[in-house]
Structure 1
Amino acid sequence: MQDLLTINIENNSELGPVVSSRTVAEEINRRHTHVLRDLEKILLSPNVDSVIIPSEYKDSTGRNLKEYLLTKDGFTLYMFNIQGHNDFKMAYINKFNEMENALQNKLPGSYKEALSQLLETVEQKEKLELENSMNKQKIAEYEPKASYLDSILQNKSLVTVGQIAKDYGMSAQALNKLLHDLKVQYKQSGQWLLYSKHHDKGLTHSSTTEIEHKDGSTSVRMNTKWTQKGRLFIYNLLKENDVLPTIEQ
């Protein structure tokens, strides 16, 4: 036994549960043309066109053929005009009742209930939009960090303290002083050197610069440059002290 259908009439208002005349013909083992003929006789009576609705279907060859869609009242009206098939009648009437009850339970019973349902839908939508915005913000907050760390890890060259300081929006002198205050380095003979506990970590590399003076003499100056590992060390250390690079602020 086939399930009932739910359709919309041309104005798109809800028609409710219906059954096709083809389904009825199949279930009671009659030719569809005979069922159509009987229905058209019933349609000669007044006030039945709202319960027996003309429609069309495509057959296996693609042709548009006539059928009727019967509401519960239309189905009952038709079945009262034929003898027998009581089990079939009751099964379909029970199915109509079941579907109508299901549809009725889905609809708000009053204007107040309708407003309540609408408010709940709006609140759920706003909640989802807020969660979506929060997730986007979290992603945006994580992206700069990943970008900054990626730039460190992908760059294999040595960098000066001035280059690192620029990432934090400060001067080289300010960053050197901050690293001194954090017990990372000290200054000796004009060069910043790491305290002994950081010596063997591969954080820095000393380069030599030859300076030519006006009198033609030359001297050598040692400069401390940071490796990318050292740059990452500075990043983690400053972060622990609530100092972030500009891109993450």
Structure 2
Amino acid sequence: MGKLVFLHNNQPVTDSLTVAEVFEKRHDIVLRDIENQITKLQEAGEQEFSLHNFEESTYTNERGREYRKYNLTEDAFTLVSMAYTTPEAMKFKVRFIREFKRMREQLAEMNKPSYMIDDPIERAKKWIEEQQEKKKLQTDKLVLTQQVNELQPKASYYDLILQNKNLIPISVIAKDYGMSAKTMNKKLHELGVQYKQGDIWLLYAKYQDKGYTQTTTHAIDADKSKPHTKWTQKGRKFIYDLLKSEGILPIIERDQEGEAS
């Protein structure tokens, strides 16, 4: 048997599989009991309570087949287990209640700010985590600002058509100039076009509403995601004009100039 209570979305929960195993009931019976409680809550006008405390989910069995289950908060577990009244069931309920309490205390300790931690090593570790989270929040905010501005380009209909064509990673544009993506990003930074925030390059505010880029967020897994900025055709032309004014031409035009001379 696994843990009676575990953390899910930073909240102590149990699930219908664990309840079925501990109370020695078939899982389909526990699912029925849960859904009876959900129906009663809805009939009583407590849909919000139901949504916040009962989360339908899935699990995969040893044969690789996917089945339904529910994640239950402590309040949801209390409602469902009310019907389990035998002396043995009462012992199980006490075990769950104690485990929920222990998990709440563990969560509170985990979320304690660094200045409240006595141990200097643990305090330092927590401070680093806080700074990393602060930096991530700042990056997320700046990415969101760029995304909002990208949706409000001061552009003509022709410009809007350009924006909706294929998006281009900076590595492809850099290749046209015989550069690496790293070198191209650095050059655009030197020319005052963009700056680096965390792991992503963002445009300075004066360029964000021109329709030069589109920024999207790619989900890595359930808890992690990574933003990506790609350039539109209009943005590619902007880079071309900018670099040309600096005397930097794409490889194909250098070849043409060489032939002409």
TM-score when normalising by structure 2: 0.40
Using CA pairs under 8 Å that are at least 6 residues apart, name the structure with larger relative contact order, 1 or 2: 2
